[in-house]
A = this chain, B = another copy of it.
Amino acid sequence: MQDFSFYNPTRIEFGAGKIASLDQLVPAEARVLVLFGGESARRTGTLDEVTAALGSRQVQLFGGIEPNPSFETLMEAVTVVRRDNIDFLLAVGGGSVIDGTKFVAAAALFEGDAWDILTTMGQNIERALPFGSVLTLPATGSEMNKGSVITRKSLQAKLPFMSEQVFPRFSVLDPVKTYTLPQRQVANGVVDAFIHVMEQYLTYPDQAPVQDRFAEGLLQTLVEIGPRALAEPEDYQTRASLMWTATLALNGLIGAGVPQDWATHMLGHELTALHNLDHAQTLAVVLPEMLRQRKAAKLGKLVQYAERVWDIREGSDDDKAEAAIERTRDFFESVGVKTRLGDYGLGAEHIDGIIDSLQSHGMVALGEHGDVTPEHCRQILLASL
């Protein structure tokens, strides 16, 4: 186990009907801006339920936050916050809305050009407006962490920032709110959570048995419940486990004290930026061949993963690793997330552009050892055709 710091002060209120607890969670005198994405929040009645729970508080709405939330849209929200002396933000939606709200919370109190929050990865954030979230889409874990990723369309840049100032004060997790999600978003959420765990787990054995067991437990649970979450959208218990699993996949716990990878995410970001694939689709394409490309360095953990998550007991270490990689690919396909570039209309002719973009973003030494080069990434994409 490596040295670590762990801190996570977000309060979770979990269960059907918990939106009513907003009345206790949000300060009684707050002037609240409710941020959300598209029309689904309104159509499903969630927005009405939220505003009803907020009672007589002064409440304004700000809709239209996009998937891959944009600096441009969010700065409009910052203008509203400043103009109307908003003092509490409430995100209603999935990871994009919560990520965007984190940025608004920090930018509203930031002196100077708010874009600097991104260029310094959040290190210059000294304070932020308090905010909470009502989660409607289990996937990113943003509801219980301090990270956010923001896109600036005019610069074609997608950048992360982190700060303890942007932990949500609370997040309300009501599994019923996921019943009306499109299948594609649920499937993406399963894959996103799975690969969040893999980025923190599938590196090399490092004497962290509890972190390993927790990560394996999250993976096993996703394997068990993923297909059922799609087949039975109103099975409360399945959706409840999916929601809590996705939160725990990226709240800092399983990554505390262990090496981390994140190469799959970095390469995947380029596929979203250039070719507009969903985030989870990019991960499903990249991960299997990333694991195969790096099989030698990851062999110890691949074998452990094969045995403990997939119960693969036969064959050589290499056999087990190969079988586990294929099971992983099959799992993504089984929930309907395609794993080949060709499935998204991309061919060998697109690879140069992707690698150029990766290099231009300085992503030349990726992974837990910092030894994954653009040339490795080229081979990975070729193998993913």
The chain A residues found within 8 Å of chain B, CB to CB, are 1-16, 18, 207-210, 212-214, 216-218, 220-221, 224-225, 237, 240-241, 244-245, 248, 253, 256-257
Contacts and interface: CB of A to CB of B under 8 A. Distances in A.
Contact of A11 (B6, B220, B244): B6
Given A213-B216, A216-B217, A207 B12 contact: no
Contact of A210 (B1, B2, B6, B241): B241
A320 to B, nearest CB: 19
A283 to B, nearest CB: 21
Given A213-B221, A256-B14, A208 B241 contact: yes
A346 to B, nearest CB: 35
- State the oligomeric state as a number of copies: 2
A3 B241 CA distance: 12
Contacts of A220: 209, 213
A21 to B, nearest CB: 8
Given A213-B216, A213-B220, A216-B213, A207 B237 contact: yes
A244 B257 contact: yes
A200 to B, nearest CB: 15
A315 to B, nearest CB: 21
B9 A13 contact: no
A11 B1 contact: no
A4 B213 CA distance: 23
Contact of A14 (B3, B18, B214, B217): B3
15 contacts: A1-B240, A1-B241, A2-B15, A3-B16, A4-B14, A7-B10, A7-B12, A209-B225, A210-B217, A210-B244, A210-B245, A210-B248, A212-B217, A213-B221, A217-B217
A257 B236 CA distance: 14
Contacts of A11: 5-7
Contacts of A9: 7-9
A216 B209 CA distance: 12
A5 B1 contact: no
